[in-house]
Amino acid sequence: MRKAILIIAVAIIYQINYSNIFAQEISMQEKIESLIKKMTLEEKIGMLHASSSFTSGGVERLGVTELIMSDGPHGVRREHGRDWEADETDEDFATYLPTGITLASTWNRELGYVYGTVLGSEANARNKDVILGPGVNIIRSPLNGRNFEYMSEDPYLTAEMSIGYIKGVQEQEVAACIKHYVANNQETLRGSIDAVVSERALREIYLPAFKAAVERADVWSIMTAYNKVNGIFCSESDFLLNQILKQEYGFDGALISDWGAVHSTKETLMHGVDIEMGTELNMLPNADYTKFFLADSAYEAVKKGEVDEKFVDEKIRSILRLMFRVKKFDERVKREMNTPEHQALALKVAEEGIVLLKNENILPIQKKVKKIAVIGNNAIRKHTQYSIQGGSSQVKALYEKTPLEGIQNVAGKDYEISFATGYLTTRENKADEKLVAEAVALAKESDLVVFVGGWVHGYDDSNWGEGTFDAESLDKLNLDLLFEQDKLIEKLAEANPNIVSVIFGGSSAKFGKWSDVSKALLHVWYPGMEGGTAIANILLGIVNPSGKLPVSFAKDYLDYPSHVLGEYPGNETTVNYNEDIFVGYRYFDTFDKLVVYPFGHGLSYTKFDYGKINIPSIDYSKSDKIKFSINITNSGEFNGAEIVQVYVSDKESSLRRPEKELKSFEKIFLNKGETKTVEFQLNKDAFSFYDPETKKWIVEPGEFEILVGASALDIKQTTFITIN
């Protein structure tokens, strides 16, 4: 009886909730329709384009204020005036979170959600309606200048790490704006290049993160990319925007163009973006937004009957839906910024995102070590303190702890810490012999050398070493370590073989003797405002590293499929994605090509043992949920976290498929000696591929292998199943 009452009560509560949501939707629709009815055509057109650097038009007469946007994916950008000049204010210091690829390296979905919550909270506190992130473009070449802002070479990992981020942001009454839709995988000629991509590669590699954002995170806005895809600009592509996003995925939010990414009036009015943002047409400092494609010429096109006003109304509906969702017409809860909790989250993401690539028993730093020489310009560099900082994703950090500060704060009382800069970041891109000599001398008299170098994404002189740093609108020319850091590391190692190399950057550096002589290698990406503390905590063993590579690290850029099979960056007009679906480990593992460190690789100070896969059957139908579990034991001396990765391999398929594909993962925290059972469940999506002939996702009956491991190449257990 009691159970029956409970069930009825739950049903009633669910019904009330559901009807409340339904009622809210109805009332929102009714309000939207009533607003549209009151608007003049001129007022509607004013909402379809920028009204300043980071706002689009409102209708003051009807109480519709401008839509306010801000970059960026890892922190709320500094205040810009309506004509782009930076405001001189102290009110826009922000939490500088570790960049996207650092977050992806945590493989921690929950951390992604908290990250989004912090970013959304700070955007709300700064009165923004839209935060222009996450950046999710697939990393098909290590040369892309914006890889530091993105997440991975793998679509599943990118999707999983974006979902929490988007939900976290939007729970703060701010719209996330996932970007850049789609196939914006290079900076070279980004404003005009035509990415020629097969539909199968689009579906299996480049679209999944956007699909997940719409279907599983209910993202409220999407930014269209600068480039063309298969001959059509993204901002006016009926196939990409209406057929895929709206009809297939059910997207009903606002489509916002990248800045200057709209190229037509009629095409865009009829099936393009809802809001044209931009700078090129601003004619700064006296911006004239009436010249935008969706401004006067759009008004004329409708007035003359060339384009039906219903297309305009549909765009207004999308924009107003976003405005209602961010509570622009209601009381928005005021959130916080620059709190200790936000800074603690930045530290946590850095600690879990830093990847220990190599460790020849030198880390964590042993007690017997007394004198530590910290050497390298990145040990003292504050990337956010430069006038140019990676482009639009810049953050005016409230503070930024450098590696040297972190090491001094954490280790200063127990160790003798000394420093030498070793190299300078200069146009000449050459070693400074005096600095080298000074650094070598210091290394000689120390017990341990911690070299801190790699790439930069904060610099002053925008012409400096074109294409040699992590930044928007530039691709790297190669992966050679700058300023002859490699030679410096080799000389330091001759002087003192106990050397640890800590490398910053959105990509690896070309591996060689410098990495061979380094007894340990840490890749720290751009670890945010608490990066120095995180690096120190890991070096000293206060934190056990758990990060795993979200990209493959091959020896040099020419080893990557976009350079071997595909094109990068293409020619003046076109870049052919000939590698197709074979991006990253899908290429290296399928074509048996060498990598230095594989996708999913990352060491710990402890050891994890994998039990057998426990799976109840080996025969399944396509509609079955395939459940299995595996015991993981921490058999080492440190508490730690392991990222258990699940790959699927289709042993017989009519189309060539990758040797394996990541289809699930779990990050588990285990005290030393502890064992946990990790459970997995795969549905048909994990076994299907996109068939361009039938234009359907299909699971072909036959044998599949399920591989469980600690990286794409460190497979611990496998089992075979048959799907009938």
Q: Nearest distance from residue 472's CB to ligand GLC, in Å?
A: 6
Q: What residue type is assigned to position 434 of the chain?
A: K
The nearer residue to ligand GLC, 258 or 276, going by C-beta atoms, is 258
Give helix 2-38 / helix 309-325 axis angle, nearest 10°: 130
Nearer to ligand GLC, 179 or 348 (CB): 179
The region, left, alpha or beta by phi > 0 then psi within -120 to 50, assigned to residue 664 is: beta
CB of 275 to ligand GLC, least distance (A): 12
Which residue's CB is nearer to ligand GLC, number 71 or number 173?
A: 71
Cβ-based nearer residue to ligand GLC, 106 or 392: 392
Give 258 or 530: the residue with its C-beta nearer to ligand GLC: 258
Considering the complex, state which of residue 132 and residue 549 has its C-beta at the smaller distance from ligand GLC.
132
**Does residue 187 touch ligand GLC according to CB under 6 A?**
no
425 and 474 Cβ atoms separated by less than 8 Å: no
Helices and strands of the chain, counted as H and E runs: 19, 27
Measured from the CB atom, the residue of 95 and 184 that comes closer to ligand GLC is 184
Q: How far is the CB of 258 from ligand GLC (least distance, A)?
A: 5
Does position 259 interact with ligand GLC (CB under 6 A)? The reply is: yes
Check if the beta carbon of residue 88 is closer than 8 Å to that of residue 134: no
Torsion of CA 632, 637, 640, 642, to 10 degrees: -40
How far apart CA 722 and CA 186 sit, in angstroms, is 40
- Nearest-approach distance from CB 132 to ligand GLC, in angstroms: 4
- Binding characters for ligand GLC, 311-340, by CB under 6 A (x = yes): ------------------------------
- C-beta of 48: minimal distance to ligand GLC in Å? 17
| 258 contributes a contact to ligand GLC by CB under 6 A | yes
Q: Which of 258, 274, 486, 589 is catalytic?
A: 258
Whole-angstrom CA distances from 95 to 72, 265, 531 are 12, 39, 12
Residues from 392 through 421 that contact ligand GLC (CB under 6 A): 392
Least separation, in Å, of the C-beta of 179 and ligand GLC? 6
How many angstroms separate the CA atoms of 416 and 368, rounded? Answer: 12
Residues of span 68-87 touching ligand GLC by CB under 6 A: 71
Smallest gap from residue 579 Cβ to ligand GLC (A)? 24
Please state the closest distance from residue 503 (CB atom) to ligand GLC, in A: 25
- Residue 262 near ligand GLC by CB under 6 A: no
Could you tell me if 517 and 464 are in contact, meaning their C-beta atoms sit under 8 angstroms apart? no
Please identify which residue in the block is written with the tokens 């599943």. 156
Residue 271 touches ligand GLC, criterion: CB under 6 A? no
State in angstroms the smallest separation of the CB of 298 from ligand GLC. Answer: 21
Question: Minimum distance from CB of 300 to ligand GLC (Å)?
Answer: 27
Count, residues near ligand GLC per rule CB under 6 A: 6
CA distance 78 to 91: 9
> In terms of C-beta density within 10 A (0-12 exposed, 13-18 middle, 19 or more buried), how is residue 327 classed?
middle
d(CA 104, CA 393): 17
What is the rounded CA–CA span in Å between residue 441 and residue 435?
Answer: 10
Q: Rounded to whole angstroms, how far apart are CA atoms 127 and 261?
A: 25
Three-class DSSP labels, 587-645: HHCCCCCCCCECCCCCCCCCCEEEEEEECCCCEECCCCCEEEEEEEEECCCCCEEEEEE
Nearest alpha-carbon partner for 712 in 667, 676, 659, 674:
659
With CB under 6 A as the contact rule, the residue among 74, 78, 128, 179 that binds ligand GLC is 179
Nearer to ligand GLC, 71 or 432 (CB): 71
**Distance, CA of 23 to CA of 17 (rounded, Å):** 10
Tokens, residue 285: 């400092």
Q: Smaller CB distance to ligand GLC: residue 101 or 499?
A: 101
Q: How far is the CB of 180 from ligand GLC (least distance, A)?
A: 6
Q: Which is nearer to ligand GLC, 227 or 421 (CB)?
A: 227
- Expressed in percent and rounded to 5, the helix, strand and coil fractions of the chain are 35, 20, 45
The reply to whether 308 belongs to the active site is: no
Burial label, 269 (beta-carbon count in 10 A; 0-12, 13-18, 19+): buried
Site string for ligand GLC, 111-150 (x = CB under 6 A): ---------------------x------------------
Q: What is the DSSP track for 152-196?
A: -S-HHHHHHHHHHHHHHHHTTT-EEEEEEETT----TTTTT-EEE
Helix axes 485-495, 433-444, angle to 10 degrees: 30
The token duo for 623 is: 């509609």
Using DSSP bridges, classify how beta strands 626-634 and 608-614 pair: parallel, antiparallel or unpaired: antiparallel
Please state, in angstroms and rounded to a whole number, the distance separating the CA atoms of residues 658 and 656.
7
Q: Which is nearer to ligand GLC, 57 or 72 (CB)?
A: 72
CB closest to ligand GLC, residue no: 392
Q: Which two tokens stand for residue 413?
A: 């009382």
Binding residues vs ligand GLC (CB under 6 A): 71, 132, 179, 258-259, 392
* Residue numbers annotated as active site: 258
